[in-house]
Amino acid sequence: MIKVLLLFALLLAGIVLGPIVAGHQGYVLIQTDTYNIETSVTGLVIILVLAMVVLFAVEWLLRRIMRTGAHTRGWFTGRKRRRARKQTEQALLKLAEGDYQQVEKLMSKNADHAEQPVVNYLLAAEAAQQRGDEARANQHLERAAELAGNDVIPVDITRTRLLLARNENHAARREVDRLLEVAPRHPEVLRLAEQAYIRTGAWGSLLEIIPSMAKADVGDEEQRAMLEQQAWIGLMDQARADQGSEGLKAWWKNQSRKTRRQIPLQVAMADHLIECNDHDTAQQIIIDGLKRHYDDRLTLLIPRLKTNNPEQLEKILRQQIKTAGDRPLLWSTLGQSLMKHGEWQEASLAFRAALKQRPDAFDYAWLADTLDRQHKPEEAAAMRRDGLLLTLQNNPQP
């Protein structure tokens, strides 16, 4: 606009000053080695004005040509972007259908022109992995890593997911450890870490991330409690595998009092010790646990004990009957304990007390055995008959 105004100003100046200088045009000589150019001042001004007009015209023409090229390039680029957007939408529909071959094809085609090319390549990599084409999955993943720049967490998460899908568990664990350093509370990182740690038996590492899982709201409280219990039992298995019963007891002793007082862990520890044939230590853990808090899971372990001190178990069972209530499981367990050292009369009374509260085929059978020992064959036969009828009722024939 300024240039146009300048041209109008020059034209107006020419119109105004032209008549004035008509008789006084002056003389201009431009001399070179070979040429002499002679003209008037007015003629020189006209030549300069025409030259400026020509320059402006050339500039305008060049600008139009360059603008046309930019519009053309923009049209082609926009066309590719529209095509990439349409293919991405189609790929998402195919993903819902489970057609992973089409998902990979549509996601990777024109992915460089998509709105989120990294996302397209990552989804293409996962689709290729679903088809079992690891080579193509790696290619898409590498391209996504090139385009991601500094935002590598989505790429690393996808890489870890692919490693787990291929059962390359230790490689996945290495990726998870690295991801936790930069994103310790990322929900998907924590989910992948859970899988990697379970598969590799990294129970200590699994325990460490459970508080972060709670803060990130990964899973519910019950699931996290089960996961924590699984981790503790895994550590018990490792201690027993490495050093046997003595190593297991040393490991248990080194745990905090809060840990040792958890009922599920007491049950698991006693079970491990029974399997190691260390019945005395298992018995002590069961008794300590029952003294603090009654739990059926601890009581169910008692019949498996082969102890040199059954009186201690019978004492704690009678105490539990008084404090925890008249429970059939306690009476049945007491009866089984009394049977082991031949107190048939007391055992039969315990089984009768259990059967009085609920019928049970095993209690009927054990009661029959105690009655046989007391030389009461007719009553023993009646108990066996009642137990058999109960079994038939609970397991009807088709």
pLDDT band at 72 (very low <50, low <70, confident <90, very high): low
Contact 312, 279 (CB under 8 A): no
**Least confident window among 59-73, 197-211, 241-255, 372-386:** 59-73
pLDDT band at 320 (very low <50, low <70, confident <90, very high): very high
Mean pLDDT value across residues 275-291 = 92
**Distance from C-alpha of 175 to C-alpha of 181, rounded to nearest angstrom:** 10
**Distance from C-alpha of 12 to C-alpha of 30, rounded to nearest angstrom:** 27
**Distance from C-alpha of 94 to C-alpha of 303, rounded to nearest angstrom:** 58
Q: Specify burial of residue 148 (Cβ count, 10 A radius: 0-12, 13-18, 19+).
A: middle
> For the chain, what is the mean pLDDT?
83
Q: What is the pLDDT of residue 197?
A: 96
Structure tokens at 20: 């004035």
Q: Would you say residue 53 has pLDDT above 90?
A: no
Q: What is the pLDDT of residue 289?
A: 93
**Distance from C-alpha of 161 to C-alpha of 176, rounded to nearest angstrom:** 10
| Strand 28-31 versus strand 36-39 pairing type | antiparallel
CA distances from 152 to 115, 118, 127, 183 (A): 18, 10, 20, 11
> Residue 388, Cα to own-chain centre: how many angstroms?
51
**Distance from C-alpha of 259 to C-alpha of 207, rounded to nearest angstrom:** 12
| Cβ neighbours of 59 (radius 10 Å) | 11
Q: Would you say residue 76 has pLDDT above 50?
A: no
| Cβ neighbours of 364 (radius 10 Å) | 22
Mean pLDDT value across residues 255-281 = 92
Residue from 367, 342, 344 nearest 354 by CA: 367
Mean pLDDT value across residues 238-264 = 91
